[in-house]
Structure 1
């Protein structure tokens, strides 16, 4: 038995999102059928849709889903029909990193989430006119009115919470917040730099504002984003289109450099500047993801002062414990995520894509009737 629903399908790399009817497979023992009420649009979705990552197309993307559980498989224990849930990445639950509380580094993370397009056994969760298409994106494929999600992708939240506000916690917000809280962990008097004031970067700014960091520096080329960064807690901003990023950091720190920098742009020139701007024993957290195979040149002797360069996925968070905390903090106003969100009707997904590409919108969230 299959479930017919409407989804936004990308037919091929560079093609637009188009709304068509698709069929969902019945939820298996460890899967959950969710009626979507909201889904965030992320740069990773755009990267896959452009053909920049080897996800099988035609397919259904979306990995910041939020909705209401309609049906659960017989082995599911964490949620029941009627629960309000957020959807995030999936993981195997049994490898060393999953057992150690680091499921974002699951042994099967890449095929299960980003490039596989199907369940681990190769079976499809989504088909069209009887033919399988790419699905199971981050264990969910939430650009659809219904999604069959892995139980490990599903996180229960308070039914009173506005899901259109919480949807971005599934990826962008937890990535930025986790980069600060789980990796940098700024101490008193430290200087934290956030390169790129998009949804991930601004989430990092919010998180840094809740730490003892003395200086929080946001770097971008769009004045309206820098204005918002100040509102969210940045103590200083750098318009990289007008002033030299590295020189400004040196000036702010008396030549010492910053203690931590979060690079969200995926631009290798900015990444090199980030590493060069570090103080001795400082840490650069690499969040932005350029196309596979991209390399960056670093001055080796510059690293010998104890500098750290750390890549991170999804904030190195354990979703079942981390996301509910973030949801509660959004609810009480300590994480002002609503400042980032612009909502769009699901039918207007292509307009949302164009607005985020142009920089008009920071975090588009699609809403479903």
Structure 2
């Protein structure tokens, strides 16, 4: 019984996002004040994350070293998230249709519907990330999930660029010191798309095929997003188009905020292997359960194909607060930089190699120029 209850606990604790996404969908269909359910839940998560910031957990294994996680259950949940996110878009389209054709839905309800959809489409990207590391059927499902946010290019760029170039200036997903999350969102998104573009261009050239071939996975990724564009255009016209732009902007902002928080300011010497020290860990209770251990960045980047429920604490640098709390700080760049500076200083002193410290030193020598550049950009 003890083993059974432990197995149950380890597996159901990762159901927060599926349950809250379904509640958000129900709220959209109910309309009125309930259309804001997704926004309310996001705010609730900030509170829960803050309250649990001092509770840190390890991965759960039995006495023989076997994980309590059930692979078939966890993968079933991740695959089910695709139809759930599709339903989320249909729920918003449903509201848009009645808003533009009748007087049954208020402007407030539509605003709540759009923001709720954007937030939970963005938070759901964690499943696209996890499945991108499954080279078989999971990879295709990851592409489909990311396409719902107009970011199918992420799947290739994440695995074949970010994981290989982590901590280098040529990794668009690694934010250098001084960059803010807003500028990073655009640079990272565009940089990863360009990588996928170049990857396919070179591949097709070697195969003597046209760039506009059906084998161009970069183009196909954006074609996968066409159903969403058609759905929102049909259901809401110009308002529908504006809505999907807002939804995609929010969801991609949350995606890149996770990249930003996971790697901000950390440096890897060229030619050296990825180590635990090259990512920020985030292992507080609520962050771990909500984000299906995506905060275990140190272990994840060393063991990229390890199941999320088996990732563990490995001594990587840690900001000591959860992702939701840290996210609030990123929204105010001066506060974020002030909070993180002591952790960067500690990393420079105790974990960086001499070459990495020299790179950091070069940055600080040019900080004034860099900050002025950011202000004028």
Structure 1 length-normalised TM:
0.27
Structure in which a larger fraction of residues adopt strand: 1
Q: Find the structure with the greater CA-based Rg.
A: 2
Higher relative contact order (CA 8 A, sep 6+): 2
Scaled by the length of structure 2, the TM-score of the pair is 0.27
Give the structure with the larger helix fraction.
2
